[in-house]
Amino acid sequence: MYNMHAFWVALSKDVLIQWRTRAQIVAIFLFGATSLLLFSFAIGPNASALRQHAAGFLWLALMLSSTLTLAESFQSEMEQRAFEGLLLLPTPAAALYYGKAVANWLQLTLLGIALVPVMVVLYDAGTMQVLGVIGVVAVGAAGLSAPGTLYAAMTSQARAKQTLLPLLLFPLLVPVLLAAVKATSLLILGDPMGQLGSWVALLLIFDLVHWTLGGLLFERVVED
């Protein structure tokens, strides 16, 4: 019960911080939308090719945008020297981790959902299963948030955190991105072989592994 209370307090704190810095969220969305626009230029006016690559570019834009969100997730605590104080409280480090990871997941999910209409317009993907894509975005964002929060904590005190975080995080995200891109592509292009369930199940397994390891390793990461 005490751990759950600590989790809710940590989650409320991070959601409130995100709300107060919502102008930054808008800027990150514009970055993601601009990335989708630039990626579409690489394909050209071929509507069929645009649809074929829509899922991959959506997740690439979300992954690039996520590094901006995750790198700043510890910024407020570090500027106010509050993070060390949080660690001194009689609160499990895992509760702090899960509170911040869930807050990051909510932000990335909303960002991904906001980027879906941009993808539909730019990549001629209007016939997709919208609710299915939103579900995959939510599950895939969880796979980005869990390791991203852990590595953001690890690099939060580094001067080059904006560069160091992607270098450490991107290789770890490859399995999550492959499953998320494939599942999203099947929802856009069709699933005649019934493969969607397998890819979503694989994505959920990756999420479970990342969220479990993140909670176990967070205390050791922040202490070091």
Q: Which whole number is the average pLDDT over 198-218?
A: 91
Instruction: For residue 156, give the DSSP letter.
Output: T
The whole-angstrom separation of Cα 114 and Cα 38 is: 17
Q: Tens of pLDDT along 12-48?
A: 777 777 777 777 888 889 999 999 999 888 887 787 8
Alpha helices in the chain (DSSP H): 2-20, 22-43, 47-71, 75-79, 83-88, 93-123, 130-155, 161-189, 196-223
Closest listed residue to residue 95, CA positions, set 205, 1, 172 = 1
Vertex 173 angle, CA 167 and 154, to 5°: 50
The whole-angstrom separation of Cα 108 and Cα 99 is: 14
Q: Could you tell me the residue ranges of all domains in the chain?
A: 2-223
The whole-angstrom separation of Cα 108 and Cα 138 is: 8
CA distances (Å), origin 18, targets 23, 81, 108, 181, 196: 9, 18, 11, 27, 33
* Local confidence band at 78 (pLDDT 50, 70, 90 cut-offs): low
Q: Report the predicted TM-score, pTM, of the whole model to 2 decimal places.
A: 0.86
Question: How many CB atoms are closer than 10 A to CB 117?
Answer: 13
| Residue 145: per-residue pLDDT | 93
Instruction: For residue 89, give the DSSP letter.
Output: S
